[in-house]
C-alpha cells in the first residue's frame, strides 16, 4: 500500500513540476512580447468588447488629388473574436485623432474592410486617413463610443 501511495505522489509531483515549467516559459514569452510592444506602441493588442484588436503596421505616405496634397496614414489592423457570440469589425469603427484633438474620418476612397466574425475567427485589413494635421491616436470608436486607442508614431 505504501508503494502505491508513494508512486502516486511521485507521479503528481512530476506532473505539477512539468506544468509549472510551462507556465514559466509562457510568462517569459509574454514578457518578451510586452517589451516589444512598449518599443512600438502601435503594435500593442487590446481586448475590447470581446474583440482582440492588434495594430500590425503603420504606414505614412503622401496622397495627391489634383493640386491637393495630404499625408496618408494607413494602419493594418487584425481583429479576432475572443467571445462566444458573433462580433462585427470594420474600417468604419476607427477614427484618427490629431494633436489638436480633431477627429479625422477614414478615407473610404481607398481599400476598407469589415465583416461579422464567429467565435475564434480572425479578420485583417487596412484603414486609411488623409490629413495635413499631426496625428496622435488611432481610436476604436464603434457606434460613437471610444473603447480603445493606440499611439501613432509620425515620421519627421
Confidence bin at 20 (pLDDT 50/70/90)? low
Strand partners, 117: 87
Tally the residues of the chain: 156
Residues 125 and 142: beta-carbon distance below 8 Å: no
27-56 pLDDT, tens digit per residue, is 554 444 443 334 445 568 999 999 999 999
Give the model confidence (pLDDT) of 95-107 as tens digits.
Answer: 999 999 999 999 9
According to DSSP, the residues that pair with 89 across neighbouring strands are 115
Residue with cell 468588447: 49
46-50, Cβ contacts within 8 angstroms, sequence gap of 24 or more: 46/140, 46/148, 46/150, 47/82, 48/140, 48/147, 48/148, 49/87, 49/142, 49/147, 50/81, 50/82, 50/83, 50/85, 50/87
Which among 145, 143, 141 is positioned nearest to 53, based on CA atoms? Answer: 141
Amino acid at each position: 500500500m505504501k508503494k502505491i501511495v508513494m508512486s502516486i505522489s511521485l507521479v503528481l509531483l512530476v506532473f505539477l513540476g512539468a506544468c509549472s515549467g510551462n507556465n514559466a516559459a509562457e510568462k517569459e514569452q509574454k514578457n518578451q512580447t510586452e517589451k516589444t510592444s512598449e518599443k512600438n506602441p502601435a503594435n500593442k493588442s487590446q481586448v475590447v468588447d470581446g474583440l482582440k484588436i492588434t495594430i500590425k503596421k503603420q504606414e505614412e505616405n503622401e496622397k495627391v488629388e489634383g493640386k491637393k496634397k495630404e499625408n496618408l496614414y494607413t494602419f493594418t489592423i487584425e481583429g479576432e473574436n475572443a467571445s462566444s457570440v458573433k462580433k462585427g469589425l470594420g474600417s468604419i469603427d476607427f477614427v484618427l485623432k490629431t494633436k489638436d484633438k480633431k477627429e479625422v474620418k477614414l478615407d473610404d476612397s481607398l481599400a476598407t474592410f469589415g465583416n461579422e466574425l464567429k467565435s475564434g475567427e480572425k479578420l485583417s485589413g487596412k484603414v486609411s486617413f488623409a490629413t495635413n494635421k499631426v496625428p496622435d491616436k488611432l481610436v476604436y470608436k464603434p457606434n460613437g463610443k471610444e473603447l480603445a486607442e493606440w499611439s501613432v508614431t509620425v515620421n519627421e
